[in-house]
Structure 1
Amino acid sequence: MKDMATSTACLRSGCLALAAFVSMAGQAAQSAAEQLITLRNGVTLRGVYIEIPTLNENSFSVGADGGIRTPSIWSIDDGLRRTYVHRRGMVNNEPVEVPDLSLRMEFPQPVPAGANEVGSLGQILGVTPLNEYGRRQMSVRGTDGSPTIIYQGLTELTSRYAKLEALKSDSPMRLDMRVATDSIDTPSLQRIFGKLLDQDDPDARLEEVRFFIEAERYGDALHELQAILRKFPEQQELKPQLTALVERHAMQLFDQAQLRRASGQPSLAKAILEKFPLARVSRVTRLRVEDELGQIQKLETQRDETVANLRKLVGDLAPADRDALAKIVDEIDQHLSPNTLNRLSDFIRLGGNDAIPVQQRVALAIAGWMLGSGSGEQNLVIVISQVEVRDLVAQYLAHPDPKVRSVLMENLKVLEGASAEAIAKMLPLLPPPLASDQAVAIYGGQGDSAEAATKRSFHVPMDAVPDDSVLGMYHIGPDQQSFEAAQAADPMAVPEAAYLVQLPPEYDPLRQYPCIVALHAAGAPAETQLNWWAGVPTDRFLSPVDTSNASTESVRRDDASMPPSSDASSDPQVAPLKQSMRLGHAAQNGFIVVTPRWTRSGQQDYEYTMREHDAVLRSVRGAMRRFSIDSDRVFIGGHGAGGAAAWDIALSHPDIWAGMIAIGAEPRKTLLHYDANAVYVPTYIVMGEKDGRPLKRNGAVYDDYMSYQHDAMVVMYRGRGKEFFYEESKRIYDWMMTPEHARGKFPQEIDVVSMRQGDRFFWWLEWDESLPDTVINPILWEEATRIKAAKVSATIGANNEIRVSQAPATAFTIWLSPQMPLDFGTQLAVRYRGQRRDFRFTGEFQTMLDDVRVRADRKRPFWGRVTIP
């Protein structure tokens, strides 16, 4: 037994010895170094990498016949999963060596020797929590559909992963399954430590502290150290460690506040910082907290001062101008916030300059609010006209009657402030068309009550029904039963959009939010995707605590196949909520989650039909009309059949998405041929190693993504089958949040393929109908005599000329925008074979507004179009 001084030194240096029945891994394993590998897409991976030539383990495939291939793929193993990336295409610089995990506990379990290895795992039906011996039962679906029980024991534990092996039984097997350590709840870990570590030995107890520190579960480490000091009061030398743990725990809280502020949740960030345990942290941390709080308060003060200055200047205007601006000044007062303050940056900079006439300063403020920072408009007459233009534009986008829209368009055309340039700037800054004041006036305020309106600064969108029990959740369109019944009644009809939406806290319709469109597995309700991406609703909100309290209750769960109830914090004290909330990664990172209903009754798999595409795309466009979604940051993802659907829809319509995430998906049909389209869509594929040997079935498909041109990551969990992989959600959100993962600019060259009648719109190139010999009916795929993708090639070249070189059609529409690499001020030419059509922009904006109504994309509207022939 070491003395207390040695124990304290070991805690500081991380060299605590394990108890007799828990052994450290061998010195060779301990000395192995991991690498930090930075990718070109902004993601950093950690693990041990090796170079391999292919992901294809099917020896009968072309290219997998044992021929010599140059290693071009890096397999990065962190013990929990292997991540595959293309070396030249994805790795940004040379790897940097970092120490391996310092703590590796091994537990003796009755593991069978010489048993056959499990090749495939069926669907997990249930998992019991780990007991005090580190054992559990996992029920999986057997080959005949009946449940099979696998007994598992914890044989290795690190701060990153837990190794669970199959135990001796009547049917012995070898199964090495890895689950993320942070998916194991604290009570389960404490039960295991309590049984296997000598609780009367302070050195053994300190191993728990060290484990929690390396796992960055500082709250758990703090409470365990406090418990040690209570049981061993003579060992007061450990007390200084409390301060360090409080500091680390507090910094996690500070990081959470910063994330919330960056995600558009300044009130929550402020509340966290105001309750920060300042008396228990260092001076440096106190200064950082005070500075962060000061920045929030500075923006609040600046907001109030800006509104006051604007009202003062407007009061100095002529009565007619004052009356014309009264409504929009009230609007600015109501909606100006840290999310929108940058719109008035010109006015904030020049609004107090008395050398500039009052009219010009007021014009700067109102124009900035409507057109954005840098508009530079100082003509008050024009600005007053643009206020009316903006109102008419909002009515045009919201109104369902084409006759009324025709009248609105005629009224727009005669206004002095109406121009395509001004309207294009207004569009992204407007509230969503079906959640605007104009929409409420047109539709009579459906879904909005006077009481609700007083509690928020935005309207409930038209036809959106707030959920009674979950804050920020909305239902649009038929429920699952009604949706499936309508499709059964008319299988050929275009399905009505039906979807659920989860908004992040402090949702502001004037702030643009990234969005994940999540597709549920076949047979599962859409709500399962809300639970995965946004968290299971909870009625208790994790909040800042007094860290002197030693009791603890972690939100983590033992079953990695089930979602955590909250990912907001590991803080033990909670505050009850009047309405339950989802506190997962979507809330933390400020994402809107849209979950379309897309399957028909009894559907078992993705069918690759345009009915399914329509169900998803109509839901996406409907959500964009109702909620403030950043059209440059829309991702699509899904699980199982929903993952395959997300994969196929992303590659069939690559102009829409910022990235695609497929989890447990099986690529079939078009996905075997659409890898050329994947060059335009960042791709994240997740699977289990025991999901029927995926690299043997689909390795050739994954190889197609391991090229210099693709932004692709293939992730394979060790020893896992077809699961939901909740552990991967944090990495997926980090991947989506990188600046590199936003929708790309309009390409100068389009080089894609098409195989279905519905796959006929790519960025600025569209055709009405594909030639019969170039399309395949997905339902009759196996009966097709010729399966070949039709090439699509078009280029924006020199001399302001667009040339369609190849496509499965003879008639096209070319959509035009100044955001394309074109000179919109001169004549444009479109060529297809011997045909030519010219276009000169005349300033009309009806095409733009009609395009926004159809595609719901207010950031990249098309200003004109050319048809050929």
Structure 2
Amino acid sequence: MSNHPTVIVLAGLLIGVIGSVDSVHAEQLITLRNGLTLRGVYIERSTLDENSFSVGADGGIQTPKIWAVDDGLRRTYIHRRGMVNNEPVDIPDLGLHIEFPQPVSEGGDEVGSIGRILGVSSLNEYGRRQLTVRGTDGSPTILHQGLTELTSRYARLEGLKAEKSIRLDMRVATESIDTPSLLRIFKKRMDQTDPNERLEAVRFFMEAERFGDAHRELQVILKQFPEQEELRPQLTALVERQAMQLIEQAQLRRESGQPELAEAILKQFPLGRVGRVTRLRVQDELTEITKLRTQRDETVAQLRKLVSGLPQADQAALTPIVDEIDEHLSANTLNRLSDFIRLGKIETTPARQRVALAIAGWILGSGSGEQNLMLTTSLIEVRDLVQQFLAHPDEAARARILDQLKRLEATRADYIAKLLPLIPPAMASAQAVTIHRSEDAATDDRPFILPINAVPDEHVQGMYHVGPNQDDFYAAAAAAPFAIPDAAYVVQLPPEYDPLREYPCIVALHAAGASAETQLNWWSGVASKQFLAPEESNASADGDAETTQPSVPDHVRLGRAAQNGFIVVAPRWTRGGQQSYEYTMREHDAVLRSLRSAMRRFSIDSDRVFIGGHGAGGGAAWDIALSHPDIWSGMIAIGAEPQKTLHHYNANAVYMPVYIVMGDKDGRPLKRNGAIYDDYMTYQHDAMVVMYRGRGKEFFYEESERIFEWMKTAEHRRPRFPESIEVKSMREGDRFFWWLEWQDSLPATVIDPILWDEAERIVAAQVSSTIGANNEIRISQAPSNAFTVWLSPDMPLDFGDQITVRYRNRRSNFQFGGEIDTLLEDARTRADRKRPFWGKVSIP
């Protein structure tokens, strides 16, 4: 929650009317090394393990190393030295704590565990509700709750006296309570004839940053109590703060690649109701959008002018690429032509060189500096052949394309590595459409090519289905339980999706018994009817049905992924009737194949791919992340139960940020799994364990805003290739880590997860390998005798010299000679266009 100056001024003015409020420095701001800031009261702990047999639980002395930051709604556990960036800063506590008298149960049993929520009623005017949960015997159980405390951050709901009373202190986010419910409660609690009490509601809405609600309530008060006229100027101040929220939303949309939406927000801005400073901010934002559009148009015009002055043969050869630049140059791609923008108008530089700068920039990106027009013309052909190679399903055809490439002047490994991230996804290119003869993709009227085998949803904009639907996926799994599953998933794209812009991505795994679509709802928002829905048919005036046009999706998702510009990929990963995560490679394959398929069809930034899930999906996300840490930028597990490999793979988590969310009434998690959470409370881990107070098995949508903030921090991008690999492996499929791979694991080092409880010995195999001095890679330990080491110039190696790989007394050498075979095949198979490997070495 921001401490905006307007809020402080308003609060100060209204305090004089309502009464004095104590300003106590009871909270701290704690800045973390991962870029987040926590607010609350911190408590030092030595362990999260509340098992009665754990070390320290028996009265032993341990040094506090963990901070539990309590903000009233939840506790966030972090390692002090590993996570905290500097000393906490004291800040005032929440300004308003409204208490409500309720017949709270003082006796009865304290609730230790809350089952899955089956239903919840709205709060009535007395601040009471019924919570229906699954009881221990599976039948519905009703809990009667009453609102006893309300702040701008959380609401406290306690168990009420009943025939069978229980003691329960549950906290929910205040933002989750709708305005009509709050107004009903305030109306019942506050004397409606006393303006001072009525203003308490206004102050509450202000502190909660619900400025529209505060504005409406203050208007009602001023109408009913004209004598409070001195507060009328505060209506204007509230409008100003609402305006700032709109500006912040427009800025977010522009930064997320949605300039048209940002411009629409700003152009509909109520300029006549705000002050001069706010009007200037709106104008500055609009000017910035217009400036980029103008620069784009001027850049294309300058390029066309230069090309028109070249010989006719050059004009004919360059017209297609200039038309392509004109069609696709935007705010998302303008930086590619930064060299041309800077030097394109310098008359002393020959036109051919300036045109070459533009084309090379478009194909290779900013900073290429290439000014040889013949070479850049060759680059166009290289790029087109690369796109054909990536999209072609036939091995023989790919071999012919590779042969053509090797005869071109501009075919160089470094050029191909630069152009790969800048081309459209392999299965969403014009070349893919031609190869697969996809009439749907070729004739679709979208502003981008419809990816091959991606089916647009009939009702929701930006939603696509790839592979079998839920029923067919279940049927295939039942027919062949051990077969590698086909990629099957649903995708939600953000507004104004541009395949030439890179987007962060969430691979979201659904809970057991749920569908993949439920994850799109959580991350991207439930699809809702547009306010101005497009017509479902455009029949002619005479009603001729044959002229009716195809229907246009009339629903949109407006959730956080849409606002922040994230692509959400939700794989189908469970068998029909599956009740828990089974830790099998079939499940891993279902997720990883879906991710690679999505990367071939949608513009996913492979350096910003996160995996998350709920319930069993949270456990799957956790395990898949630690089993393949080279893929992910971070992992989010919500309501997950760590089992099997997760008791042994902590070493793998050092390489990847971890965000774990649960309720403290989910079966006493710190007693059940505290020892596992302790493993993440070290100096080496970027880990946060979040525990909601008085909550059980839930999806915790309240945490989504902070999760997106966590994912967007600069620290949470896939790091560079590590110089040393120190990880654990326990399954046959867990045998690829960054640049080290082995073909088969030794039988004694793998455990079948289905037979986990029958295994005689459960020990994780150690994997150790290091890139050392003298251009040498040494494999010290791994559960195999045969390895493949993948090589890239992004690794701390000299690609101009011989590279040596050693394992025990075996040795293999590699000398890069400019070959592109491995580079292209790796980009095709792994679909990672940002970090393809250029070569590989095998031992033996």
Q: TM-score range by the shorter chain?
A: over 0.9
Q: Please list the CA deviations of residues 838-868 of structure 1 after superposition, one character each: whole Å capped at 9, or x if unmatched.
A: 1010101110110011100000000000000
Q: Secondary structure of the equivalent of 2:650?
A: coil
Q: CA deviation at 1:446?
A: 4.6
In structure 2, C-alpha distance between the alignment counterparts of 1:760 and 1:523, rounded to whole Å: 30
1:401 and 2:394 matched: yes
Unaligned runs of 5+ in 2: 1-7, 534-551
Q: CA deviation at 1:447?
A: 3.5
Q: CA deviation at 1:542?
A: 11
Unaligned runs of 5+ in 1: 1-7, 544-576
In structure 1, C-alpha distance between the alignment counterparts of 2:310 and 2:801, rounded to whole Å: 41
1:866 and 2:832 matched: no
State how 1:575-594 maps to structure 2 within 5 Å. 579-594=554-569
Query: Does structure 2 conserve the Cα–Cα contact (< 8 Å) formed by 1:16 and 1:203?
Result: no
Map of 1:139 onto structure 2: 132
Query: Does structure 2 conserve the Cα–Cα contact (< 8 Å) formed by 1:132 and 1:195?
Result: yes
Map of 2:547 onto structure 1: none
1:717 and 2:676 matched: no
1:51 and 2:41 matched: no
Q: Secondary structure of the equivalent of 1:251?
A: helix
In structure 2, C-alpha distance between the alignment counterparts of 1:745 and 1:654, rounded to whole Å: 12
1:256 and 2:249 matched: yes
**Aligned amino acid, residue 514 of structure 1:** P
> In structure 2, which of residues 705, 710, 718 is the aligned counterpart of residue 743 of structure 1?
718
**Aligned amino acid, residue 392 of structure 1:** L
Q: Secondary structure of the equivalent of 1:736?
A: helix
**Aligned amino acid, residue 148 of structure 2:** T
Q: Please list the CA deviations of residues 319-341 of structure 1 after superposition, one character each: whole Å capped at 9, or x if unmatched.
A: 22211111111111011000000
Map of 1:849 onto structure 2: 824
> In structure 2, which of residues 651, 655, 665 is the aligned counterpart of residue 690 of structure 1?
665
1:760 and 2:750 matched: no
In structure 1, C-alpha distance between the alignment counterparts of 2:778 and 2:44, rounded to whole Å: 42
> In structure 2, which of residues 503, 506, 527 is the aligned counterpart of residue 537 of structure 1?
527
Q: CA deviation at 1:236?
A: 1.9
Map of 2:458 onto structure 1: 468
Q: 1:306 to 1:535 in 2, by over 3 A?
A: same
In structure 2, C-alpha distance between the alignment counterparts of 1:812 and 1:446, rounded to whole Å: 44
Map of 1:320 onto structure 2: 313
In structure 2, C-alpha distance between the alignment counterparts of 1:759 and 1:323, rounded to whole Å: 53
1:222 and 2:207 matched: no
> In structure 2, which of residues 70, 78, 81 is the aligned counterpart of residue 85 of structure 1?
78
In structure 1, C-alpha distance between the alignment counterparts of 2:532 and 2:566, rounded to whole Å: 19
1:12 and 2:5 matched: no
> In structure 1, which of residues 108, 119, 122 is the aligned counterpart of residue 115 of structure 2?
122
**Aligned amino acid, residue 498 of structure 1:** A
Q: 1:250 to 1:10 in 2, by over 3 A?
A: closer
1:801 and 2:776 matched: yes
**Aligned amino acid, residue 51 of structure 1:** E
Which aligned segments of 4 or more residues in structure 1 are displaced greater than 6 angstroms? 16-19
Map of 1:701 onto structure 2: 676
1:649 and 2:624 matched: yes
Q: CA deviation at 1:67?
A: 1.8
TM-score (norm 2): 0.95
In structure 1, C-alpha distance between the alignment counterparts of 2:719 and 2:145, rounded to whole Å: 46
**Aligned amino acid, residue 291 of structure 1:** D
In structure 1, C-alpha distance between the alignment counterparts of 2:630 and 2:751, rounded to whole Å: 22
Q: 1:135 to 1:16 in 2, by over 3 A?
A: farther
Q: Please list the CA deviations of residues 712-747 of structure 1 after superposition, one character each: whole Å capped at 9, or x if unmatched.
A: 000000000010000000000000000000001000
> In structure 1, which of residues 384, 409, 414 is the aligned counterpart of residue 407 of structure 2?
414
Q: 1:807 to 1:785 in 2, by over 3 A?
A: same
In structure 2, C-alpha distance between the alignment counterparts of 1:473 and 1:578, rounded to whole Å: 9
1:606 and 2:591 matched: no
In structure 2, C-alpha distance between the alignment counterparts of 1:323 and 1:64, rounded to whole Å: 80
Map of 2:505 onto structure 1: 515
Q: CA deviation at 1:803?
A: 0.4
In structure 1, C-alpha distance between the alignment counterparts of 2:530 and 2:199, rounded to whole Å: 31
State how 1:440-839 maps to structure 2 within 5 Å. 440-448=433-441, 450=443, 452-453=444-445, 455-456=446-447, 458-540=448-530, 579-839=554-814
**Aligned amino acid, residue 601 of structure 2:** R
Query: Does structure 2 conserve the Cα–Cα contact (< 8 Å) formed by 1:513 and 1:628?
Result: yes
Query: Does structure 2 conserve the Cα–Cα contact (< 8 Å) formed by 1:447 and 1:464?
Result: no
- Number of equivalences: 819
**Aligned amino acid, residue 204 of structure 1:** E
Q: CA deviation at 1:449?
A: 5.8
Map of 2:377 onto structure 1: 384
Q: CA deviation at 1:286?
A: 1.1
In structure 2, C-alpha distance between the alignment counterparts of 1:275 and 1:766, rounded to whole Å: 56
Q: CA deviation at 1:234?
A: 3.6
State how 1:55-454 maps to structure 2 within 5 Å. 55-62=48-55, 64-448=57-441, 450=443, 452-453=444-445
In structure 2, C-alpha distance between the alignment counterparts of 1:634 and 1:388, rounded to whole Å: 31
In structure 2, C-alpha distance between the alignment counterparts of 1:115 and 1:392, rounded to whole Å: 74
Query: Does structure 2 conserve the Cα–Cα contact (< 8 Å) formed by 1:513 and 1:592?
Result: yes
Q: CA deviation at 1:292?
A: 1.1
**Aligned amino acid, residue 342 of structure 1:** N
Q: CA deviation at 1:115?
A: 2.3
Q: 1:847 to 1:820 in 2, by over 3 A?
A: same
Map of 1:4 onto structure 2: none
Q: Secondary structure of the equivalent of 2:104?
A: coil
Map of 1:553 onto structure 2: none
Q: CA deviation at 1:834?
A: 0.5
In structure 1, C-alpha distance between the alignment counterparts of 2:440 and 2:53, rounded to whole Å: 59
Map of 2:542 onto structure 1: none
**Aligned amino acid, residue 476 of structure 2:** A
In structure 1, C-alpha distance between the alignment counterparts of 2:230 and 2:386, rounded to whole Å: 71
Q: CA deviation at 1:538?
A: 1.2
**Aligned amino acid, residue 482 of structure 2:** M
**Aligned amino acid, residue 479 of structure 1:** N
In structure 1, C-alpha distance between the alignment counterparts of 2:321 and 2:616, rounded to whole Å: 48
Q: 1:293 to 1:418 in 2, by over 3 A?
A: same
**Aligned amino acid, residue 100 of structure 1:** D
Q: Please list the CA deviations of residues 676-716 of structure 1 after superposition, one character each: whole Å capped at 9, or x if unmatched.
A: 00000100000001000000000000000000000000000
In structure 1, C-alpha distance between the alignment counterparts of 2:175 and 2:746, rounded to whole Å: 53
In structure 2, C-alpha distance between the alignment counterparts of 1:766 and 1:631, rounded to whole Å: 20
Q: CA deviation at 1:233?
A: 2.9
Query: Does structure 2 conserve the Cα–Cα contact (< 8 Å) formed by 1:35 and 1:96?
Result: yes
Q: Secondary structure of the equivalent of 1:745?
A: coil
Q: Secondary structure of the equivalent of 2:232?
A: helix
In structure 1, C-alpha distance between the alignment counterparts of 2:390 and 2:531, rounded to whole Å: 38
Aligned CA RMSD, in angstroms, stands at: 1.6
Q: Secondary structure of the equivalent of 1:448?
A: helix
Q: CA deviation at 1:445?
A: 2.5
Q: Secondary structure of the equivalent of 1:31?
A: coil
**Aligned amino acid, residue 841 of structure 1:** F
In structure 2, C-alpha distance between the alignment counterparts of 1:656 and 1:170, rounded to whole Å: 53
In structure 1, C-alpha distance between the alignment counterparts of 2:439 and 2:653, rounded to whole Å: 41
TM-score (norm 1): 0.93
In structure 2, C-alpha distance between the alignment counterparts of 1:379 and 1:862, rounded to whole Å: 28
